[in-house]
Homo-oligomer: A and B are copies of this chain.
Amino acid sequence: MRKDSTKRPPKTDEKKAAAPRRRLRAVNREQQIVDEAVNFFAEKGFSGQTRELATRLGITQPLLYRYFPTKRDLIERVFDEVYLNRESPDWSSLLTDRSRPLHDRLCDFYGSYSEMTYRYEWIRIYMFSALMGEKLNRRYIKIVEKKILTPMCAELRDYCGQPTIEEKPIRQIELDHIWVIHGGLFYYAIRKHIYHSRVSKDFAAIVSRAVAVMLAGSKAVSAELETND
């Protein structure tokens, strides 16, 4: 907008940070755009407008199109940035390390998992894209079921003295049961970042309690069912 580009360093800096409008190297500008786009789309959803995004960046809207041919391309890039470009810890091994109590493993897992995914941008972009029917989500869920929930089922079986998953494959109902606690903890992030509810700061305490209850309860119920199942 304001085009005082000449050499005078704009001491003004009026109300909206009248950017000195320096040039960036292509690579840096691109990353800057992606970073801001992640924030922007997390907040506004994917119907957020390119002009508003550009304004936030302090650049003009057509500049976006130098780096991304279409808005859709930018969105794809945002997905990559949030879901793919970051390597995830080896959660399977963390979960299946039977030298440690299952309670501790689960608490550690959710500590690590929440740090990575229970973030404002992650949660919201995930939900927006799910509502849009992006394939991304289904793929992600497949991974979660395979790398996280199935191992958990196996550990829970062991914990309750039930058959291994080799002896008796995991049933949908077991997966759904694990989804209740997994989803219940995830829901903490939904309440925080999507509903903007007041939630207690101490997520670790919530996890510890939920895990303890789940383990104790599972053992009790499992023993009970032993007879009639």
**Residues of A in contact with B (beta carbons under 8 Å apart):** 45, 47, 124, 127-128, 130-133, 137-138, 141, 172-173, 176-177, 179-188, 190-191, 194-200, 202, 205-206, 209-210, 212-218, 220-221
- Nearest to A222 among chain B residues (CB) is B213
Cα A179 to Cα B131 with chains together (Å): 23
| Cβ B217 vs Cβ A200 within 8 A | no
Cα A1 to Cα B131 with chains together (Å): 28
A131: which B residues are within 8 A, CB to CB?
45, 124, 127-128, 131, 194
Contact partner of A138 (CB less than 8 A), chosen from B124, B133, B187, B196, is B196
Give chain B nearest CB distance to A199 CB in angstroms: 6
Give chain B nearest CB distance to A93 CB in angstroms: 25
